[in-house]
Structure formats: C-alpha cells, structure tokens
C-alpha cells in the first residue's frame, strides 16, 4: 500500500481567495460608479430642463410696464457701477494740497512745485532760513506714514544768506485717493 502525501500550500489558497474577493468587490464598485454616472446625468438633464422652463415662465410673467421699469433699473445700475469705478480711480489733488500744508515747516517756503499724479511724486524748489530748519523739514517728511521716499538736491546759499534747495518726494498712492484721511 502506497501512501502519497501531497503538501497543500495553504498560503497560496488564502491569497487567491482574497484576490478573488477584492477583484469582485472592485468590479461591483466600478459597475456602481458607472451606473451612478448615468443616473446623475439623467437627473441633471431633467433638472436643467425644469430650470429652463421655470426661467421661461418668469420671463413671461410680468407686464410690459414691469419689463420697461426693470430695463431702466438695470441701465441705472450699470451707470452707478461705472461711476463707482471712475470715482475709485480718480485722483484728488485738492486733498493733497490741504494736507501737505500741514506737513510743512513754518519757516520753509516753496516757490515751485511739479506734481506727477501718475508717479505719485512731487518736485519742489524751496527756501529756508538755515540748515537746521531744512533738517527739521526733512525729518518731518521722512517720518510721515504716506511718504515713500525723500530726496534733497541742489542745496546752496543765496546772496541773502538763505538756503535754496530742491526736494523730490515720492508718496504712497493713498495720498491722492478720495478717502484720504490724515492719521496724525
């Protein structure tokens, strides 16, 4: 009597079982997702049609007078939006001059001004009693929150013993805006 012993590899059969289960589970999930796509596509199409029908009913509802008034209101609304854009981009020079007067030293006189709104710079020619006053004016301008930079040039003493100078100041754009308020 011959006994034949064949070893069974239990690990391979367990792996094959898991692989089979995962395969069928993946297949079911894939079929469910494909089916869901078509179901949702059908719902979206039907709801879009319903939405279009409702919009058409809304357009047809209302009298001719209401439609004319609605058109007028929409035109006015567009004009208001356009004006708001223009006002936001408009540069207000008058507010700059009012506030710049407050930033100037009382012993400094400016004889010439060149204002560039596009570059937010001001070039000034001025005169003062002495270098100390000029230094105080520079400190006030450099420490101001809206001044981006200050450049002093062409400093010379005139025949009267006074100091002539040129000053170039670059500001932050807020200086020329409509809502400009000094924070001092």
Tell whether 25 is covered by a domain. no
Range of the domain at 146: 93-176
Q: Measure the CA–CA gap between 180 and 91, rounded to whole angstroms.
A: 11
Question: How many domains are contained in the chain?
Answer: 1
Closest listed residue to residue 100, CA positions, set 139, 164, 146: 146
The answer to whether the beta carbons of residues 108 and 133 sit under 8 Å apart is: yes
DSSP annotation of 161 reads S
- What is each CA distance from 182 to 49, 72, 115, 144, 171, in whole angstroms? 57, 40, 20, 10, 13
What CATH number is attached to the domain comprising 163? 3.30.1360.100
Arithmetic mean of pLDDT, 114-140: 87
Tell whether 170 is covered by a domain. yes
44-56 in b/e burial notation, b at 16+ Cβ within 10 A? eeeeeeeeeeeee
> For residue 69, what pLDDT is reported?
86
> For residue 26, what pLDDT is reported?
95
Tell whether 119 is covered by a domain. yes
pTM above 0.75, yes or no: no
Tell whether 27 is covered by a domain. no
Tell whether 141 is covered by a domain. yes
Angle at 123 between CA 131 and CA 156, to 5 degrees: 30
Closest listed residue to residue 135, CA positions, set 120, 115, 155: 155
Tell whether 83 is covered by a domain. no
What is the per-residue pLDDT across 141-159, written as a single tens digit (0 to 9) for each?
888 888 888 988 899 988 8
What is the per-residue pLDDT across 39-77, written as a single tens digit (0 to 9) for each?
999 999 999 999 988 888 877 776 778 778 888 988 988
> For residue 89, what pLDDT is reported?
66
Tell whether 169 is covered by a domain. yes
């Amino acid at each position: 009597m011959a006994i034949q012993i064949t070893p069974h590899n239990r690990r391979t059969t367990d792996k094959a079982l898991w692989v089979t289960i995962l395969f069928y589970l993946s297949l079911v999930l894939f079929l469910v997702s494909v089916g869901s796509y078509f179901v949702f596509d059908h719902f979206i199409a039907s709801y879009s049609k319903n939405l279009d029908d409702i919009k058409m009913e809304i357009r047809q509802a209302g009298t001719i007078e209401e439609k004319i008034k609605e058109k007028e209101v929409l035109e006015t609304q567009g004009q208001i939006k356009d004006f708001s854009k223009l006002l936001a981009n408009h540069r207000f020079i008058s507010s700059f001059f009012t506030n710049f007067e407050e930033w100037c030293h009382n012993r400094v006189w400016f004889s010439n001004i060149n204002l560039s709104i596009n570059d937010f710079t001001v070039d000034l020619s001025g005169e003062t009693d002495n270098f100390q006053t000029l230094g105080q004016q520079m400190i006030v301008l450099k420490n101001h929150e809206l001044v981006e930079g200050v450049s002093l040039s062409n400093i010379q003493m005139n025949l009267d013993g006074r100091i002539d100078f040129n000053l170039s100041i670059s500001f932050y754009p807020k200086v020329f805006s409509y809502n400009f308020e000094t924070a001092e």
